[in-house]
Chain A
Amino acid sequence: MGRRRASQLLAGYRQFLVGRPTPSSHEQSISGSYWKLNTWRPCCMFRVSVGTPQASNYLNLGKTYAIKQRSFGSAATDIRRNPAFSKLNADDISYFRTILGERNVVEDEDRLSAANVDWMRKYQGSSKLLLLPKSSQEVSKILHHCNSRKLAVVPQGGNTGLVGGSVPVHDEVIINLALMDKIVSLDKINGILVCEGGCILENLSSFLENEGFIMPLDLGAKGSCQIGGNISTNAGGLRFVRYGSLHGTILGLEVVLANGTILDMLGTLRKDNTGYDLKHLFIGSEGSLGIVTKVSILTPPKLMSMNLAFLACKDFTSCQKLLLEAKRALGGVLSAFEFMDRHSMDLVLSHLDGVRSPLPSSLYNFYILVETTGSDETYDKTKLEAFLLRSMEEGLILDGVVAQDINQSSSFWRIREGISEASVKVGAVYKYDLSLPVDQFYGIVEEMRNRLGEAAKVVGYGHLGDGNLHLNIMTTRYDSDILAQIEPYVYEWTSKHKGSISAEHGLGLMKANKIHYSKSPETVQLMADIKKLLDPNLILNPYKKILDLFAICN
């Protein structure tokens, strides 16, 4: 299966590969050699695991073809290297070796190129050094050295981000926390988990599930992404509507600041009103203020009863009303309310193998997934069915199916989660992650569809329950004319409707200079002041998130 998928993917990625013509023997060697594709969920296409044989296999592609750096989304290629940063020298490397040991100071080209490129292969840096610390003390020593030497640094987790935040822009030193993957403790009464920042989300989930708890967040890239990265990017995901933001579930953090100070805020208390709650600064700071090395997180109990319905609605107004009704009727058991338009459905059905429509009799305008999670299967199901039947009588729902077992649930989720995967098979995809008031939610999708006409395929889907829209615009190849029609229009429209240009993906490199669409100048100035205070040499994840900060600070 891996091979066939890989070669299909490759076909989709032809657009990326420029330069030499493709000899067929090369093609075979590539399709036979890389990417282990396991659970397919959104966002996570290739598991780029730094420092594994897989990662170096992955690079065969990079070696065989010159990969043109793409700067779709927002321009990144024209960012000049900050001359204030020093360049690495042999002394630095031997110092790092004394701290980390020979094996965890990586200069190997293959492993470096894997760490230099993001999973969408959109952004590529040219770092010459990858460091794999094993403890907070090692992170502290690394940063202390980098700060005193003015060496720029990019913190990296699972490298599954969508906005180029986790890869270097120029020659920043990559600090990857993959080896800091230990679980420290679990309070089995309150469900408070303490672990290191490099723990992979899925591993935490399976650990917790055996103990009767679940992670309060779940997202497509869970097999690769690290909890430290989730926190640094304030990842949202599928359980958001039920368990809320990481700002609510993170109880404490241990963070290493740019100068090497280990900031112990690793509280395990639900309530703690003593002074400023500084941990929040680091949640969503995208590695620009410090590196998250330890985490204390509140995990909800695992509930046995899950029910899922896949529904069809005739228009967007019905979807909105249905959301309101679902909140009223299902109350505490509602755990997901996901939305996708007919174009998304069509995309998944035509590009993914083995996916069938749960409602095959016709193609409806909108589809909704409603999930409930509770403690009593029969009771929850009765409640859900009563709500669905009433909504159907009222005409909010045109048709629908209710999953009768886990297998059916997975196949419904597969459709919603497969959109991201299907979107890259068309050719080029421009992805936007917008927060919008629910009444404006779908407007931008229709506007873009009118604006681009035949030139592009526009799909809208996302977490309607959280007002989070994923707008994907697909064309056969990347084209600056198309991009000019999309940007800055999408950002301006979002700003005009009081939305956010980054709901859960972050700003990263893609939207580095776009913060002003969502934040006032005064707010941005304060952010710059904080950055300057915590990282006066601006070594942490430079050129990204708030490019303006960079300008302001200089």
Chain B
Amino acid sequence: MRKRGREEERERSEAKTGHQLVRARSGSEMKVMVAVKRVVDYAVKIRVKPDKSGVETSNVKMSMNPFCEIALEEALRIREAGAAAEVVAVSVGPAQCVDTLRTALAMGADRAVHVDAGAAPVLPLSVAKILKALVQVEQPGLLILGKQAIDDDCNQTGQMIAGLLRWPQGTFASKVVLDKEKQVATVEREVDGGIETLSLDLPAVITTDLRLNQPRYATLPNIMKAKSKVIKKVTPAELNVELKPDLEVVQVTEPPKRKAGVIVSSVDELIHKLKNEARIL
């Protein structure tokens, strides 16, 4: 999915729909939409369900996906730099996603939208379709997502939504600079050989890598302000999106357990073990 240079981007962006509409807005009125996912907390030790159908999520600490936190932080910085007027956080999933959205509001997002998709996991293509529908409602100039969620590690949603919207995309961003006048986002990506720089015409999709920024904490004054902010609730049906399980999880298993080490009492014993048990001598 790598695109090189501005030419390609321009070709693609000229073909897209709705482009002129957003472009007509001035930068200070631009909206940034951020997708945030509720996942098992990064620091929790994952346990696989006994029936191997997935990982245990009941009675487990859930938090905002770390890459989504970075995405939100970037959006807030763009707004604070005056390049955008509003940050809208969006989450797709069960009712408890409201907690994740509260966190987003406490970090500084202006509004939130919760797409209540019920308890069943929503797969990347469905999320992308839902986000596309929301983009058409909200008309943001920029959509920022985490490059992947740490639960399923799919790393697909950002690319899919860019494809569905026919918007240019800058994935795995490690630096984002927005030019308000030219309506262009410059995105740096860490690739094998060094840093790749992309220039994207807005509106565009950006997915964030770990080193893009360090997310802020939710301060008490912001938590207080968040109390009066609105979380709008919609259903996939209202967005005319049908949730189809297009992938089936066959089995989830734990990695093989590492065997405990032994302490040998002498060099001879070590050599013996290396020769006869490890068979590497």
Instruction: Closest A residue to B42 by CB, please name it.
Output: A407
**Most B CB within 10 A of own CB, among A310, A397, A403, A405:** A405
B223 engages A389 (CB within 8 Å): yes
CB neighbours of A403 from chain B (8 A): 217
CB neighbours of A406 from chain B (8 A): 41-44, 61, 63
CB neighbours of B106 from chain A (8 A): 402, 404
Chain A: minimal CB distance from B50 (Å): 14
Q: Does any Cβ of B come within 8 Å of A42's Cβ?
A: no
Q: Does any Cβ of A come within 8 Å of B59's Cβ?
A: yes
Chain B: minimal CB distance from A361 (Å): 9
- Which listed residue (A304, A306, A401) contacts B220, Cβ 8 A? A401
Per-residue CB contact flags for chain A residues 394-420 toward chain B (1 = under 8 Å, else 0) read 000101111111111010000000000
Q: Does any Cβ of B come within 8 Å of A214's Cβ?
A: no
- Which listed residue (B60, B64, B219, B224) contacts A304, Cβ 8 A? B60
Q: Does any Cβ of B come within 8 Å of A392's Cβ?
A: yes
A410 engages B220 (CB within 8 Å): no
B220 engages A400 (CB within 8 Å): yes
A354 to B99, CA, bound (A): 29
Q: Does any Cβ of A come within 8 Å of B66's Cβ?
A: yes
**Most B CB within 10 A of own CB, among A381, A402, A403:** A402
- Which listed residue (B63, B64, B219) contacts A401, Cβ 8 A? B219
CB neighbours of A385 from chain B (8 A): 223
Q: Does any Cβ of B come within 8 Å of A274's Cβ?
A: no
| CB-contacts of B36-70 with A (<8 A) | 41-44, 59-61, 63-64, 66
Q: Does any Cβ of B come within 8 Å of A388's Cβ?
A: yes
A358 to B44, CA, bound (A): 22
A389 to B222, CA, bound (A): 11
B42 engages A401 (CB within 8 Å): no
B219 engages A405 (CB within 8 Å): no
A78 to B64, CA, bound (A): 59
Q: Chain B: how many interface residues by the 8 Å CB criterion? A: 23
- Which listed residue (B44, B60, B217) contacts A408, Cβ 8 A? B217
Chain B: minimal CB distance from A103 (Å): 8
Per-residue CB contact flags for chain B residues 243-272 toward chain A (1 = under 8 Å, else 0) read 000000000000000000000010000000
Q: Does any Cβ of B come within 8 Å of A25's Cβ?
A: no
B218 engages A402 (CB within 8 Å): yes
A392 engages B42 (CB within 8 Å): no
Q: A385-B223, A401-B217 are in contact. List 5 more A-B contacts (CB 8 A).
A: A305-B61, A392-B221, A405-B43, A405-B61, A406-B63
| CB-contacts of B193-220 with A (<8 A) | 214, 217-220
A381 to B107, CA, bound (A): 16
Which residues does A use to contact B, with CB under 8 Å? 103, 304-306, 309-311, 356, 358-359, 377-378, 381, 385, 388-389, 392, 397, 399-408, 410
CB neighbours of A405 from chain B (8 A): 41-43, 61, 63-64, 66
Instruction: Closest A residue to B265 by CB, please name it.
Output: A103
CB neighbours of A392 from chain B (8 A): 220-221, 224
Chain B: minimal CB distance from A101 (Å): 12
Given A358-B217, A404-B63: A410 and B43 within 8 A (CB)? yes
A306 to B219, CA, bound (A): 18
Instruction: Closest B residue to A312 by CB, please name it.
Output: B220
Q: Does any Cβ of A come within 8 Å of B157's Cβ?
A: no
Chain A: minimal CB distance from B38 (Å): 11
A400 engages B219 (CB within 8 Å): yes
Given A304-B60, A304-B61, A410-B43: A404 and B220 within 8 A (CB)? no
CB neighbours of B220 from chain A (8 A): 309, 311, 388-389, 392, 397, 399-402
A305 to B44, CA, bound (A): 13
Instruction: Closest B residue to A393 by CB, please name it.
Output: B224
CB neighbours of B42 from chain A (8 A): 405-407
Chain A: minimal CB distance from B28 (Å): 26
A338 to B220, CA, bound (A): 18
Q: Is the interface of B mostly helix, strand, loop or mixed?
A: mixed
Q: Which 10 A-B pairs have the closest CB atoms?
A: A405-B63, A406-B43, A401-B217, A400-B220, A404-B103, A406-B41, A401-B219, A405-B41, A358-B217, A392-B220
Chain B: minimal CB distance from A309 (Å): 8
Instruction: Closest B residue to A410 by CB, please name it.
Output: B43
Chain A: minimal CB distance from B138 (Å): 24
CB neighbours of A305 from chain B (8 A): 61
B64 engages A404 (CB within 8 Å): yes
CB neighbours of B107 from chain A (8 A): 404
A310 to B220, CA, bound (A): 10
Chain B: minimal CB distance from A45 (Å): 24
A389 to B221, CA, bound (A): 8
Chain B: minimal CB distance from A414 (Å): 13
CB neighbours of B214 from chain A (8 A): 356
Instruction: Closest A residue to B39 by CB, please name it.
Output: A405
A-B contact pairs, 23 of them (CB 8 A): A304-B59, A304-B61, A358-B217, A388-B220, A389-B220, A389-B223, A399-B221, A401-B217, A401-B218, A402-B220, A402-B223, A404-B63, A404-B217, A405-B41, A405-B42, A405-B64, A406-B61, A406-B63, A407-B41, A407-B42, A407-B43, A407-B66, A408-B217
**Most B CB within 10 A of own CB, among A378, A392, A399, A401:** A401
A306 to B103, CA, bound (A): 15
Instruction: Closest B residue to A401 by CB, please name it.
Output: B217
CB neighbours of B66 from chain A (8 A): 405, 407
A327 to B218, CA, bound (A): 23
CB neighbours of A358 from chain B (8 A): 217
A381 to B99, CA, bound (A): 10
**Most A CB within 10 A of own CB, among B60, B61, B218, B220:** B220
| CB-contacts of B83-116 with A (<8 A) | 99, 103, 106-107
B224 engages A389 (CB within 8 Å): yes
Chain B: minimal CB distance from A321 (Å): 17
CB neighbours of A388 from chain B (8 A): 220, 223
A377 to B44, CA, bound (A): 15
**Most B CB within 10 A of own CB, among A306, A309, A385:** A385
A103 to B66, CA, bound (A): 50
CB neighbours of B224 from chain A (8 A): 389, 392
CB neighbours of A311 from chain B (8 A): 220
**Most A CB within 10 A of own CB, among B42, B44, B63:** B63
Instruction: Closest A residue to B224 by CB, please name it.
Output: A389
CB neighbours of B61 from chain A (8 A): 304-306, 377, 405-406
CB neighbours of A404 from chain B (8 A): 63-64, 103, 106-107, 217-218
| CB-contacts of B155-214 with A (<8 A) | 214
Chain B: minimal CB distance from A403 (Å): 7
A397 to B44, CA, bound (A): 31
**Most A CB within 10 A of own CB, among B66, B99, B217, B218:** B217
Instruction: Closest B residue to A391 by CB, please name it.
Output: B220
A305 to B59, CA, bound (A): 9
Chain B: minimal CB distance from A256 (Å): 27
A311 to B107, CA, bound (A): 16
